[in-house]
């Protein structure tokens, strides 16, 4: 299994390269008008080989794509991210799967829009 710190770095780099937005773990610095908040979820193992190693190791993340620029901008960023990742391999992962997209409560009074994308990364 890949080291969790290394994994988080690879996911952050991938998300930033696709969305062209800064990505953050733990907290978003003040003053950011658009970005992606990342949260690491569970790691699961499917099947075992005779020597006890997992056949497939999958890591769940949530990527919250947010912006204060408008609902259409947020939805366009989310669509581009999903289209670039769902069902595709990358250099570091055997397969990337988008499990669900949950719109966050839009607040047009303050101009905040966001979509939470549940995504799973299967190790090579």
Domains of the chain, earliest start first: 4-25+34-123 (3.30.2000.10)
Token couple for 65: 């794509």
Residue 73 clears pLDDT 80, i.e. is over it? yes
pLDDT, one tens digit per residue, over 45-65 is: 887 767 776 678 899 999 999
Average pLDDT, the chain: 89
- Determine contact, residues 85/99, Cβ cutoff 8 Å: no
CA separation (Å) from 15 to 20, 22, 42, 50, 51? 8, 8, 18, 35, 34
Contacts of 65 (CB under 8 A, 6+ apart): 19, 21, 36, 74, 77, 78, 81, 114, 115, 117
Report field, pTM of the whole predicted structure over 0.75: yes
User: Which letter does DSSP use for residue 29 in this model?
Assistant: P
Q: What is the pLDDT of residue 39?
A: 96
Q: Of 73, 69, 98, 67, whose CA–CA distance to 83 is shortest?
A: 98
């Amino acid at each position: 299994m890949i080291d969790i710190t290394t994994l988080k770095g690879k996911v952050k780099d991938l998300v930033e390269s696709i969305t062209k937005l800064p990505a953050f773990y733990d907290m978003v610095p003040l003053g950011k008008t658009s970005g992606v908040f990342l949260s690491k979820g569970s790691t699961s193992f499917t099947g075992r080989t005779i020597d006890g190693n997992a056949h497939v190791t999958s890591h769940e993340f949530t990527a919250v794509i947010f912006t204060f620029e408008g609902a259409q901008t947020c939805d366009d960023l989310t669509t581009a991210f999903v289209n670039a990742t769902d069902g595709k391999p990358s250099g570091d992962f055997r397969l990337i799967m988008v499990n669900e997209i949950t719109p966050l409560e839009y607040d047009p009074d303050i101009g905040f829009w966001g979509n939470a994308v549940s995504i799973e990364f299967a190790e090579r």
